[in-house]
Structure 1
Amino acid sequence: MLTFPKGFLWGAAASAPQTEGHALGGGKTATTWDKWFELNPEKFNNNQGPEVTSNVYEFYKEDIQRMKEIGMNSYRTSISWARLLPDGKTLNKEAVTFYRSYFQTLRENGIEPIINLFHFDMPWWLMEKGGWETRESVEAFAFYAETAFVEFGDLVKRWATFNEPLVHIECGYLYGFHYPAIVDFKKAIQVGYHTLMAHVKAVEAFRQGHFEGEIGIILNVTPTYAKSNEDRDMEAKNKADLLIIKSFLDPCVLGEVSKDLVELLKDNELIPTTIETDKEIIKHNRVDYIGINYYQPMRVKAPETSQVPAQTPADFFASYDWPEKRINPYRGWEIYPEALYDVAMMMKNDYNNIPWFVSENGMGVADEERFLDEKGMVQDDYRVDFMKEHLGQLYKGIQEGSSCFGYHTWTFVDCWSWLNGYRNRYGFYRVDLDNNLNRSLKKSGLWYKELSQHNGF
């Protein structure tokens, strides 16, 4: 029996734009996703846009009962900036009523709400001004964060500023996967810097307001493994670590941007525009905890050719296809649970053993209907095996002294996922798109109930 620490958080994660629905209702204004779907619906899987998703806006009370039924004691979701402050300044009273009821209902059912402020859903009114490219976004986000603390601080004791900030940076400004689908390394770095400063200013607002509780950030920390120990491959790994791990972890936890990262950016004419007082603000506004999303490792090697100054991250490191990898055949991602132990040791040894939790881990599967049994239950033993393997490695890290306080899966009910729509399913509950979004429990939900009841397996 692997028994986890007393009070360990067992739960799941989701986001406002992927679950709430009512994307342009209830006083909410458009985000980049609403606008992009309006402009280019053909980019979205099966024409599935952000309007309805899982309709948690209406179903949250029933869903919270389902959370309770499978033993969840915590749940992370996000607030929609465009719902709470439709024009960035004016408070939407309907949104306040909705979120207060949502968070209160979680608490009444013994489920701690962990509330994140930004999950890739840039309000359109700010995007029209340049979004994260403009310094105005920093103060706008800080005002939004403070508004949320004031309105919900009595119900929420664990806050997060951003979910996976690297995603809106990389996908929006390097690889073309998210709006505005720009490929510009210099802009990407500036967007990243403004995101970091928005986070820091939100933490500052939390501290200055003397709000009760803790504040952190959710990062997709992708452990990096080099093809070999040769100097060129190790250099590629180190550069990948600087961009993908240290870029946010160092300032958020240690209070300063890595000097090696600054040198790398300087050498490649990528230094962002800053303000002189930024360093002091970063230094004095560190987080209380870190959430880490882990799905798959990153394997790198030295690029065959590279440019100076770099035009893309591919000038720093190239992807390496490890011949011994094990693949999720339904999603195409590598399954490597050992990385979760490596993350646990990294947090212990490199980041002052700061409290942290696994804020996302999960297995996406397409066409999950093929695993329905005669009673209509998805037999997702593959998901149970995935969790067992990862929890085994996490347990090992905790036994060796890493301060991990919880494990959340992605996700509770199948949710809408950006351009992929409902292609890949992750939930403990299946959402039937052809039958009024009805929820039905999967086998993994039964196992998770046992896991939480026994605080281990």
Structure 2
Amino acid sequence: MLGAATAAHQVEGNNINSDCWVMEQLPHSSYDEPSLDAVDHYNRYEEDIKLMADAGLNTYRFSVEWARIQPTKDSWEASEIEHYRNVLKFCHKTGIKPIVTMHHFSSPKWLITEGGWESPKVVEYFADYCARAACELGDLMEYVFTINEANMRLQLASLIKDMKNRMKRTESDVQVGVNLMRENMQKAAMEAAQAFGVDDPGKVCNFVSLCTPEGDLLVMKAHEAARDAMKKECPHLKIGLTLSLHDMQWIPDGEENAKKEWDDEFTHYLPYIQKDDFLGAQCYTRKCYGPDGTVQSATNTSYTQMGYEDYPQAIGNVVRAAARDFKGDIIVTENGIATDNDNRRAEFINEALESIQACIMDGIPVKGYMYWSLLDNFEWQKGYSKTFGLIAVDRATQKRYPKGSLKALGAWAEQ
């Protein structure tokens, strides 16, 4: 499976019932700008999927938006289910295999009011949503991911703790567009509490927020409950989750630090994914460790717009590391580069896929590669300034401009 990926909130536009939309509108928002119409994928998905097919891609990973389907706790929008049925149907019509993610960072506003991802109630709520969606969409689906980057909450909590302790960590140490330690954060927290109707800013627990160890476990319980509930409705579905992973490397006396980070990032989740049909591996770069923590790679030559080291070989190394512990199929569900140099993007794709091809030649069961992302889109709190896409978008007109990198990725389908 060779394709590209998107996330609903980042591309669809006007996701007005989501927690992210609420957070974007705050007077002291941590978002650089609001998502607004995004790149209008909600209305232009046929054009975008056709561009993929024309380029030779055969798979599209996208998310359905919980906040659209269940905008309030007691409502269920049949028209939104029909919208996603139409997306799935068009994928099949154009020869594109859909891979569906049930939750990609954004949650319904009402869920946060109910305690969000630190409340035990989220397990039942998420499982019920996934089961009903599977019942109504499952005949058009095969591969499903419950939760995108299920380890992201714990990664952010660790990063913020280290930054508060003045350790040498930056926002680029997590593979998502966030703005941390900004001015007026206390005001923003108070505004968020008021917007979500909770009495304590610490109770605003969306998916990209501080996480307790108990909250980390709740994500895994929600995954297991959702997986089992969907399997009950549709036994044919192949179900897993995705994890944000780094290629862990080290210099002398840094190996133990690297191994501890890998355990935090990956191996401690293994008990909760043993019954999964596959693992979604997501990686953009590497981390290098010394005896006192992270160090700069001695061979580094350049960084991406996100502040990551430009290191395409990381994805192959991550797949090999994951395969040592996870004995099942692996799908690369995100890998890409934020750059305004599309020639470099095409080179990055070729180098990354060469590393994946080597994994396959060595017998590692890699079943697919999804580039992030199909379109230049809304990189969460970083807004529209980061360009990952295979397709550029003029947001004033929403006109699409396929890049040379789209053809470069499609050319691998013929190999």
Tell me the TM-score normalised to structure 2 length. Answer: 0.85
- 1:247 aligns with 268
Q: Say if 2:157 and 2:210, in contact at 8 Å, map to a contact too.
A: no
Aligned residue among 258, 266, 275 for 1:237: 258
Q: Counterpart amino acid of 1:297?
A: R
Q: TM-score, normalised by structure 1?
A: 0.77
Percent of residue pairs identical: 26
Return the match for 2:277 from 282, 288, 307.
288
Judged with a 3 Å threshold, the aligned counterparts in structure 2 of structure 1 residues 359 and 186 are, in CA distance, closer, same or farther, namely closer
Alignment of 1:140-155 (within 5 A): 140-155=125-140
RMSD between superposed Cα atoms in Å: 2.3
In structure 1, the residue corresponding to 2:45 is in which secondary structure?
Answer: helix
Does the alignment pair 1:345 with 2:332? no
SS in 2 for 1:39: coil
The 5-angstrom pairing of residues 196-235 of structure 1 reads 196-228=220-252, 230=253, 233-235=254-256
Change (3 A) 1:40 1:164: farther
Residues 218 and 412 (structure 1 numbering): CA distance in 2 closer, same or farther, change over 3 Å?
same
Find the aligned partners of 2:234 and 2:305 in 1 and give their Cα distance.
Answer: 47
Whether the aligned pair in 2 keeps the contact of 1:290 and 1:357 (CA below 8 Å) is yes
- Letter aligned with residue 167 of structure 1: M
Structure ID, larger Rg = 1
Equivalent pairs, count: 376
Matched residue SS, 2:266:
helix
One-letter identity of the residue aligned with 2:381: L
Matches within 5 A, 1:57-456: 57-171=42-156, 175=160, 177=179, 187-228=211-252, 230=253, 233-248=254-269, 250-254=270-274, 286-303=275-292, 318-352=293-327, 354-365=328-339, 368=340, 380-434=342-396, 436-452=397-413, 454=414, 456=415
Tell me the CA shift for residue 321 of structure 1: 1.4
Q: Give the Å deviation of 1:330.
A: 4.1
CA drift at 1:62: 1.5
Match of residue 274 from structure 1: none
User: Judging changes above 3 Å, is the alpha-carbon distance between structure 1 residues 191 and 174 closer, same or farther for their aligned structure 2 residues?
Assistant: farther
Q: Alignment partner of 1:356: what SS?
A: strand
- Structure 1 spans left out of the alignment, 5+ residues: 1-8, 255-285, 304-317, 372-379
**Candidates 8, 12, 21, aligned match of 1:34:** 21
Unaligned runs of at least 5 residues, structure 2:
161-177, 181-188, 193-200
Provide the rounded CA distance (Å) in 2 between the counterparts of 1:98 and 1:235. 49
Kindly tell me: are residues 187 and 218 of structure 1, through their superposed partners in 2, closer, same or farther at Cα, counting changes over 3 Å? Answer: closer
The superposition leaves residues 5-45 of structure 1 with CA deviations (integer Å, 9 ceiling, x where unpaired) of xxxx1100111111111222xxxx2x221111121465333
2:163 equivalent in structure 1:
none
How big is the shift at 1:324? 1.8
Helix, strand or coil at the partner of 2:336: coil
2: CA distance, partners of 1:210 / 1:23: 28
Q: 1:401 to 1:157 in 2, by over 3 A?
A: same
- The Cα shift of 1:165 comes to 1.8
> CA separation of 1:90/1:218 partners in 2, compared to 1, >3 Å: closer, same or farther?
same
Query: CA-to-partner distance for each residue in 1:427-448, whole Å, 9 max, x for gaps?
Result: 11101123x1110111112222
Q: 1:19 aligns with which of 11, 16, 40?
A: 11
Distance 2:234 2:376 in 1: 37
- The structure-2 alpha-carbon separation of the partners of 1:187 and 1:329, relative to structure 1 and needing over 3 Å to count, comes to closer
- Whether the aligned pair in 1 keeps the contact of 2:315 and 2:335 (CA below 8 Å) is no
Residue 167 of structure 1 deviates from its aligned partner by: 2.1
Distance 1:171 1:59 in 2: 33
SS at match of 2:14: coil
Please report how far the alpha carbon of residue 94 of structure 1 lies from its aligned counterpart in structure 2 after TM superposition: 1.4
